[in-house]
């Protein structure tokens, strides 16, 4: 833990203004769950650079292996957690009282973090060639596969003709090389490694849904968010300042990403960092509600506006 004097100097540099020291008892404790991957970078930057402390927040971070598990434990073990837009919609449709407290990252053409990778020997040259093929996805029913299904349906492919198998990102390259799968819905830095090995990117599946596409959000139990409005405002402000730091200091941001994810620096050096944006509009969520409804993956109707905890 940094000494107080050092933390204040860093805070001054990050925020561009002097910030009076806060007593530990004045700080609001926040229990945060996230997946140790690039979409969580803004939180790590805010923690590493003392931005949370400057916002009177005492943040404890717990890494979770599967993003789909976070929604169910909010309001219990954790106060705030990361979720994909699809995770949030499905959780609320399933009866959980959750809401987005801030935006996470948007997928854009300039900052793409996912790609559909076709195997070099698969004969797949476009999404239309996936009929009768085997495609690896990190999780059935999650945002990447949902986006891929939308893409296939738009191309007129019978969705039942495509065989999806769940597979961790690190295993996808070897399985492509062995010919056990024909394509993989991959995230960076694994997608770039597959391309370097001679496989082909067919494009970003999230951008087939919207451009830009809201990919992740920070969510909480709605009752907790309503009872802790100052903490929500400070959390959002801290993420906004961290996002500005990432744009301004990409080299340092990559060092922080490497430190928290434990990925080798060589894997992160040329990685396109996500585009972080705290503001979420109902229209950003509604596009995903429509996709899920089109695929018959919603248990009940969901109002996009009702998923926002507060305007930000």
Q: What is the tens place of the pLDDT at every residue in 103-113?
A: 999 999 999 98
Report pTM: 0.87
Of 283, 282, 279, whose CA–CA distance to 312 is shortest?
A: 279
CATH 3.40.190.10 residue ranges for the chain? 4-108+212-307, 114-208
Select from 3.40.190.10, 3.10.105.10, 3.40.50.1100, 3.40.50.12160 the CATH code of 114-208.
Answer: 3.40.190.10
What is the average pLDDT score of the chain?
90
How confident is the model over 266-303, as pLDDT tens digits? 878 878 899 999 999 999 999 999 999 999 999 899 99
Cβ pair 282, 200 in contact under 8 A: no
In the prediction, which pLDDT does 65 show? 84
pLDDT at 197 > cutoff 60: yes
Of 59, 96, 95, whose CA–CA distance to 75 is shortest?
A: 96
The CATH number assigned to the domain with range 4-108+212-307 reads 3.40.190.10
Cβ pair 112, 204 in contact under 8 A: yes
């Amino acid at each position: 833990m940094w000494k107080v004097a050092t933390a204040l100097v860093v805070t001054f540099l990050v925020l561009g203004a002097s910030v009076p020291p806060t007593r530990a008892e004045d700080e609001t404790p926040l229990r945060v769950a996230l997946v140790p991957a690039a979409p969580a970078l803004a939180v790590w930057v805010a923690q590493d650079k003392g931005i949370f402390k400057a916002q009177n927040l005492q943040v404890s971070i717990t890494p979770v292996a599967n993003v789909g598990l976070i929604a169910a434990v909010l309001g219990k073990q954790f106060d705030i957690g990361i979720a994909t837009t699809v995770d949030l919609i499905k959780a609320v449709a399933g009866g959980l009282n959750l809401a987005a407290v801030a935006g996470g990252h948007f997928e854009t053409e300039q900052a793409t973090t996912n790609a559909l990778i076709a195997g070099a020997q698969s004969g797949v040259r476009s999404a239309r060639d996936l009929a009768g093929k085997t495609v690896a996805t990190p999780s059935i029913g999650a945002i990447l596969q949902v986006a891929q299904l939308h893409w296939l349906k738009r191309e007129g492919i019978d969705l039942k003709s495509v065989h999806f198998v769940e597979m961790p990102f690190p295993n996808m390259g070897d399985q492509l090389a062995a010919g056990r799968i024909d394509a993989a819905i991959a995230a960076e830095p694994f997608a770039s490694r597959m391309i370097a090995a001679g496989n082909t990117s067919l494009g970003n599946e999230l951008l087939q849904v919207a451009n830009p596409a809201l990919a992740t959000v920070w969510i909480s139990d709605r009752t907790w968010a309503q009872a802790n409005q100052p903490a929500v405002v400070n959390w959002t402000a801290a993420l906004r300042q961290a996002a500005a730091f990432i744009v301004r200091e990409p080299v340092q941001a990559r060092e922080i990403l490497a430190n928290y994810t434990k990925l080798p620096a060589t894997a992160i050096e040329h990685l396109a960092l996500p585009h972080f944006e705290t503001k979420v509009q109902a229209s950003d969520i509604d596009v995903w509600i429509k996709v899920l409804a089109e695929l018959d993956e919603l248990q009940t109707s969901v109002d996009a506006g009702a998923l926002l905890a507060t305007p930000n």
